[in-house]
Structure 1
Amino acid sequence: MKSLNKKSDMVPSLASRVKFKLGIRNPFTVAYDIIFGCPGWLQGLIIANDQIKAQNARRVMIIGAETLSRVSDPHDRDSMIYSDGAGAVILEARACDSETGIIAQLARTDAGHEAHYLAMKESNNPDVEGHEIYLKMQGRKLYEYALNQVPQLVKSCIEKAKLNITDISKVLIHQANEKMDEAIIQRLFNLYNIAEVPKGIMPMIINKLGNSSVATLPTLLDLILKDKLPGHQISHGQNFVFASVGAGMNINAVVYKF
């Protein structure tokens, strides 16, 4: 979208514009956008990992950028926590003596009735002029979906890595609702018959930065790497879980060994 105009400006793709701005002239540096809702950045990480392992790429930049302010309805209280943000990482393969990087990944899409839990619809205010549409959510259904599906997918991803929840140092999860995230992490530990969630395992930034959708996870990672989240650091050999849920409905998870 361009300033003062809410109509989509989709061509050229955002990835192509970034490539142009960076002055990358190599035609085999392929640039493309991924539309995957809030889990989009993490899905980009999964795709990049697959491309590197297939020797189709050596180094991949994954960017998560969101401007929810352009699609939020000022007459909808669900929009109060929306925020804008962006984050990027570069993923590359390096020779090392021990296993590091992405050691397991998993994703799913539920596109039955779940597909409409997040959708573009008219304003809550019937007197709004024009025919603008805004991001709308079915909050209760989305909450129940996330609570029922996210913990199990994360557990399956941890099992795929041949690890236990006790091997995980941090869980970095997309932050759309703090109450929902707390319920998800509690249910995840309950799946392992553990009643008490370790303090500090799930760093939260939603109270300061809101819900920036696809930008949440890279922003959270950046804050930890820069020691800007007291009590949260990354040490060599630690296993982190990244997880997200959003429009689609899509869920994904990655186990990453630092």
Structure 2
Amino acid sequence: MKIYAVATGTGSYIPPVVVKNIDFANQLFLNSDGSKIETPGEEIVQKFEQITNITERRCAEDKHVTSDIATFAAEKALEAAQYDREKLDYIIVAHNLGDVKHGSHFPDTLPTLASRVKQKLKIKNPKTIAYDITFGCPGWTQAMIQAKYFIESGDAQSALVIGADTLSRMMDPYDRDAMIFADGAGAAVLEAVESDEPVGMLKHTARTDTEEYLDLLQMGNSYHLNPEDDHMYLKMHGRRLYNYALTHVPLLAKECLEINQLALADVKKILIHQANAKMDEAILKRIYRLYGLRDVDYDIMPMTIQTLGNSSVATVPTLFDLIVRGKLNGHSLESGDYVMMTSIGAGMNINAYMYRMP
């Protein structure tokens, strides 16, 4: 018998505020040098939708911050697992910029969001260790990998792993990339389970590329060149990021399959971070080609980006929760199914792990 880390409960929080593409049609968009983009707003929005497949996104209510929506997702996961929160060994919260209040552009990360979530969950046990992880969009998947090691080593019996972000509040309104990002939260309760067969969290792969790609996602000034505006906004080099993802994500996915001694045909679903639907489709196509396959089964890769946008660290756990709960039409997971979860983001970081449904 071996100890495995198994998700016994999942939860997610999809904010109720819907922002449609048409809402950006009258927005003034600028180039990086501050010059006006002369293309009509409706045309910009239409082209954006063609490229990304995003039609709308969700944003947190003004009264909520990241630690709030993280708590909402955590409550659902704990309820699904029917787990006594006072017995949690770890609470790990993955995010990027902390609790950004509505109307503010200043990250708030002290105290940690994990500590704030612990308090909001009303957990009194001082042995429930709470800490944050910032790993870009792959933060939740990396936190799951860390929790796996705590559990497999015998250091912990359980961990609550949360991914939450409100990146929509840190976007430059004059930057077209502002239309990509959204808010959300997802969570999972991992518990130690003894099993003769591999189950739950299996082996993983990861990489961090800083020499050439460190600045693909970073904080920078607004495209509206106002010397009085000292706020920093999320900026990305879209074309370079696209090329980086297409080059390295398929290779890492193949490596993940190989170290788990699995074939592509063994995988029921690939849950991938979603920033651009066309990019994800191209990544999947390249994964298939690495195995000499031309016919791509796109059903293996569930998509939520069309209506949820890019919710950063919340994307993968939200996908997982929706499928587990039977809320994503046409997608399901059964006992014994293999799931690959993979993500890419600022750092530049990529990770992937295999998960076998209990």
TM-score (norm. length: structure 1): 0.97
Letter in 2 for 1:138: H
Letter in 2 for 1:187: R
The whole-number CA distance in structure 2 between the counterparts of 1:229 and 1:4 is: 33
1:91-145 CA-to-partner distances (Å, cap 9, x unmatched) read: 1111234321112111111111211000100111224742111101011110111
Residue aligned with 2:299, SS = coil
Candidates 127, 134, 151, aligned match of 1:52:
151
Which residue in the other structure is 1:147 paired with?
A: 246
Distance verdict in 2 for CA 1:90–1:128, change over 3 Å: farther
The sequence identity of aligned pairs, in percent, is: 51
> Which deviates more, 94-103 or 162-171?
94-103
1:78 deviates by 1.2
Which residue in the other structure is 2:266 paired with?
A: 167
2:282 corresponds to 1:177: no
2:354 corresponds to 1:251: no
- Contact 2:103–2:169 (CA under 8 A) maintained in structure 1: no
1:188-207 CA-to-partner distances (Å, cap 9, x unmatched) read: 01000011111411011100
Residue aligned with 2:201, SS = strand
The whole-number CA distance in structure 2 between the counterparts of 1:10 and 1:95 is: 36
Matches of residues 1-258 of structure 1 in structure 2 within 5 Å? 1-127=100-226, 129-258=228-357
Q: CA RMSD in A?
A: 1.2
- Contact 2:281–2:298 (CA under 8 A) maintained in structure 1: no
The whole-number CA distance in structure 2 between the counterparts of 1:222 and 1:129 is: 43
Higher-Rg member (1/2)? 2
The whole-number CA distance in structure 1 between the counterparts of 2:102 and 2:175 is: 23
The whole-number CA distance in structure 1 between the counterparts of 2:186 and 2:298 is: 26
The whole-number CA distance in structure 2 between the counterparts of 1:60 and 1:121 is: 35
Corresponding residue pairs, total: 258
Letter in 1 for 2:218: A
Residue aligned with 2:193, SS = coil
Residue aligned with 2:203, SS = strand
1:54 deviates by 1.1
Letter in 2 for 1:159: E
Tell me: higher relative CO, structure 1 or 2? Use CA pairs within 8 A at least 6 residues apart.
Answer: 1
Q: Which runs of 5+ in 2 are unaligned?
A: 1-99
Q: Which runs of 5+ in 1 are unaligned?
A: none
Residue aligned with 2:270, SS = strand
Letter in 1 for 2:136: G
1:228 deviates by 1.5
The whole-number CA distance in structure 1 between the counterparts of 2:227 and 2:306 is: 30
> Which deviates more, 88-97 or 28-37?
88-97
Residue aligned with 1:41, SS = helix
Residue aligned with 1:32, SS = strand
Residue aligned with 1:149, SS = helix
Residue aligned with 1:113, SS = coil
